[in-house]
Chains A and B, each alone.
Chain A
């Protein structure tokens, strides 16, 4: 007990408290960026700085000029004929009341699928539905772009994007 001087122990004592707080501040610093919900992060469009860093990004991203989808049409199922204008916000499809398109379809889940814009295209993503979402007869396993006129089937309901 006596071979370590009091001074060393005091230094170590305060050093350890300092270390504890260094850890906390590093963690907060690491989280700082993550705490912000930026619009850029949401859409995945590279920032100006990122484009400056690797110029090929800027060239890779110019969106193909195509006809824009302007509305969503239900072509089959209980809601046949219903149209929904497409804005810039994502669309939730399902039986839940908060869904943008409330499907009165026994084969649809509460929160079945999500249709969201990214760049100039719309993507469909299954939200873990029981019966699955089919894009042109292929079951979705990840988010996929929906082209105009390609049928998306949810239960007995089929929807399409129209210009």
Chain B
């Protein structure tokens, strides 16, 4: 389709090279984990590694077929992170636990779903039609764990799981995608109203209530349900998503000021009203006090053990499979960052954090490149969701902020999170495809409209085109 060399290149071969490197990281980690456990290169190892490799390469082939211009580094980054997570979970498995295999199964399912998203959703702008449906779906997903019958009850103090046959599932993970779709769809059509209509009180401009109605409903639904489900992490995530998307859409700093103020105020109130939030904050501030450390519920044992683990890892780590991250409760899910800190050291942990940073920048690059406001907002929101999750988890584990129950994207054990994050990756790849594919400027041959309609990618786009920065109309 590219007529000139000046047009953007698909760069799928670079992706293949990076993907092979990423697979060697994931599989290498898995091999190292087994080296001193006498099960290094058994049939299990080869089976798992080849499954991961085949799945990743199939994903790559699908991108070649369906989203030729998609960003070439997103897939390798995600495969590397997922491979590292699989290796660490596999390493932390006891003799009779099967979490590693579960995680591998979920990885394959999640990749298959992401492939399906790319295959069937030819254009991310179709999602805009489902703006209000996604609001309804988000509300439904968030309410599901409260409905008796399918609710899996209270697990570890939070009611966020539902039971589907033999599996448990966390519908809130999917809700972050549908909420992002709703925010993007709503803000891209009502941005001007929110921006222009409204009263100015002091330095801040407040939009009319009726323009903000659906947004406030969405916010109340997510926050309200999450208070009842006692899931502090997700509530911070949804609220952060809300603030960031409205900030990106309107480019008014006042939203960030209001948002941070509300988070701090809400956190203060929540710590007084809800005992579990208060305990979390106490465990964060007074982590090393013996009585806090020894407390049965909401104590700081987990976080302090994680810190000790990372300290024993030092700069270069104890080596994969050489440390003892198992002493930390939930070493393979909430605290997997501490496990990596112990076994790969600061150097390895920084590599992981950088991978997240790179993934985040690629998401924003896709947002900058695509030219429809909906795609911009959606890519911003989705990549910010990943970044905020990383911040909340890694900040919690390193005792920068109170520890909350969010999952580390792609690393932590947990099927629903893996599934949701792979779907996000699928959507980001779609958006980056439309952002990077060249504008088709060849004249339409007479009488061939129907043919070209199939041959041409749904939206021609071009990176770096002198498009006006759509979301920053009048920064003040």
Binding site for B on A (CB under 8 A): 1, 4, 9-10, 12-14, 16-17, 19-24, 26-28, 30-31, 34-35, 37-38, 40-47, 50, 53-54, 57, 60-61, 89-90, 92, 96-98, 110-111, 114, 116, 118, 123, 125, 127-128, 138, 141-145
A27–B71 Cα distance when bound, in Å, is 11
Q: Which of A21, A31, A57, A61 contacts B351 (CB 8 A)?
A: A21
Contact between A90 and B452, CB atoms less than 8 A apart: no
Contact between A20 and B25, CB atoms less than 8 A apart: yes
Q: Which of B192, B348, B354, B460 contacts A125 (CB 8 A)?
A: B460
A116–B467 Cα distance when bound, in Å, is 9
What are the residues of chain B within 8 A of A17 when measuring CB–CB?
A: 316-317, 344-345, 347-348, 351
A128–B466 Cα distance when bound, in Å, is 18
What are the residues of chain A within 8 A of B200 when measuring CB–CB?
A: none
Which residues from 1 to 58 on chain B have a C-beta closer than 8 Å to any C-beta of chain A? 4-8, 11, 14, 17-18, 21-22, 24-25, 28-29, 32, 35-38
Q: List 7 A-B contacts (CB under 8 A).
A: A16-B29, A41-B6, A41-B463, A44-B438, A54-B5, A57-B5, A96-B473
Q: Which of A4, A41, A50, A128 contacts B459 (CB 8 A)?
A: A128
Scoring B35, B76, B473 by chain A CB atoms within 10 A of each residue's CB, the highest score goes to: B35
Contact between A16 and B351, CB atoms less than 8 A apart: no
Which residues from 194 to 211 on chain B have a C-beta closer than 8 Å to any C-beta of chain A? 196
Contact between B344 and A23, CB atoms less than 8 A apart: no
Q: How far is the CB of A144 from chain B (nearest CB, A)?
A: 6
> Within 8 Å of chain A (Cβ to Cβ): is B444?
yes
Contact between A23 and B467, CB atoms less than 8 A apart: no
What are the residues of chain B within 8 A of A30 when measuring CB–CB?
A: 11, 14, 18, 72-73
Contact between B465 and A26, CB atoms less than 8 A apart: no
Contact between B347 and A9, CB atoms less than 8 A apart: no
Q: Which of A128, A138, A144 contacts B372 (CB 8 A)?
A: A128
> Within 8 Å of chain A (Cβ to Cβ): is B262?
no
A23–B23 Cα distance when bound, in Å, is 10
What are the residues of chain B within 8 A of A23 when measuring CB–CB?
A: 18, 21-22, 25, 76, 80, 351
Q: With A13-B316, A42-B465 as given contacts, are A142 and B460 in contact (CB-CB < 8 Å)? A: yes
What are the residues of chain A within 8 A of B322 when measuring CB–CB?
A: 9, 13
Q: Which of A4, A31, A38, A53 contacts B464 (CB 8 A)?
A: A38
Q: With A4-B36, A13-B320, A19-B28 as given contacts, are A42 and B464 in contact (CB-CB < 8 Å)? A: yes
Q: Across the two chains, which residue of chain B brings its CB closest to A50?
A: B5
What are the residues of chain B within 8 A of A110 when measuring CB–CB?
A: 189, 191-192, 373
A38–B28 Cα distance when bound, in Å, is 38
> Within 8 Å of chain A (Cβ to Cβ): is B456?
yes
Q: How far is the CB of B364 from chain A (nearest CB, A)?
A: 12
Scoring A1, A10, A12 by chain B CB atoms within 10 A of each residue's CB, the highest score goes to: A12
Q: Across the two chains, which residue of chain B brings its CB closest to A100?
A: B468
Q: Which of B373, B453, B473 contacts A141 (CB 8 A)?
A: B453
Q: With A37-B464, A92-B468, A144-B443 as given contacts, are A19 and B25 in contact (CB-CB < 8 Å)? A: yes
**3 nearest CB pairs, A to B:** A13-B319, A37-B464, A20-B351
Q: Across the two chains, which residue of chain B brings its CB closest to A12?
A: B32
Contact between B319 and A123, CB atoms less than 8 A apart: no
Contact between A142 and B452, CB atoms less than 8 A apart: yes
Q: How far is the CB of A32 from chain B (nearest CB, A)?
A: 11
